[in-house]
């Protein structure tokens, strides 16, 4: 397990309390799980992704990640419609462990309400939350 000071938490992302990250890409957002989440899960062996075109509300479960330790749910940090899924993960779920912020992204979403982004944490807020859990 990594110490908090060893976690990779890019400054340009927003973070949810459920350990997802969000990167704004123009009118869409990329979503994945944080370095902390993948570290806690251990080696990810299977990623269940939703259908492109499906819509989810903020807080709704959209994916399951199966690791050697457990199955973990992944929740929508913002409401929206899924416009793309990372199909690379079907054959290479370990990409989530290797690089959760680039190759290991899960879905691309067109947000329903962009103001929901304001409810997410910045890097410092997310780190503070993690310290409270430790």
Its CATH class, for the domain covering 16-112, is mainly beta
State the Cα–Cα distance between residues 44 and 130, nearest whole angstrom.
Answer: 21
Task: Pull the structure tokens for residue 55.
Answer: 């819509």
Q: Which helix (H) or strand (E) holds 96?
A: helix 95-98
- What is residue 89's predicted lDDT score, i.e. its pLDDT? 98
Task: Pull the structure tokens for residue 30.
Answer: 């990329």
C-beta separation of 35 from 9 below 8 A = yes
Domain ranges of the chain: 16-112
Task: Pull the structure tokens for residue 93.
Answer: 């779920």
- What is residue 65's predicted lDDT score, i.e. its pLDDT? 98
Q: Which long-range contacts (CB under 8 A, 24 or more apart) does 51-58 make?
A: 51/82, 51/85, 52/82, 52/83, 52/84, 52/85, 53/81, 53/82, 53/83, 54/81, 54/82, 55/79, 55/80, 55/81, 55/82, 55/112, 56/80, 56/82, 58/116
- What is residue 133's predicted lDDT score, i.e. its pLDDT? 73
- What is residue 134's predicted lDDT score, i.e. its pLDDT? 57
Question: Consecutive sets of 10 residues in the chain, 134 residues long: mean pLDDT of each?
Answer: 94 98 97 97 97 98 96 98 98 97 98 96 97 78
3-class DSSP state for residue 18?
coil
């Amino acid at each position: 397990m990594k110490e908090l000071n060893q976690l990779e938490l890019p400054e340009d992302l927003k973070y949810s309390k459920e350990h997802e990250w969000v990167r704004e890409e123009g009118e869409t957002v990329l979503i994945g799980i944080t370095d902390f989440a993948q570290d806690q899960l251990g080696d990810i062996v299977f990623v269940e992704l939703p259908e492109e075109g499906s819509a989810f509300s903020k807080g709704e479960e959209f994916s399951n990640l199966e690791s050697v330790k457990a199955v973990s749910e992944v929740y929508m940090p913002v409401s929206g419609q899924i416009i793309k899924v990372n199909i690379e993960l079907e054959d290479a779920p370990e990409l989530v462990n290797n690089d959760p912020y680039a190759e290991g992204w899960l879905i691309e979403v067109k947000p329903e309400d962009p103001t929901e982004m304001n409810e997410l944490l910045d890097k410092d807020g997310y780190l503070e939350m993690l310290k409270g859990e430790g």
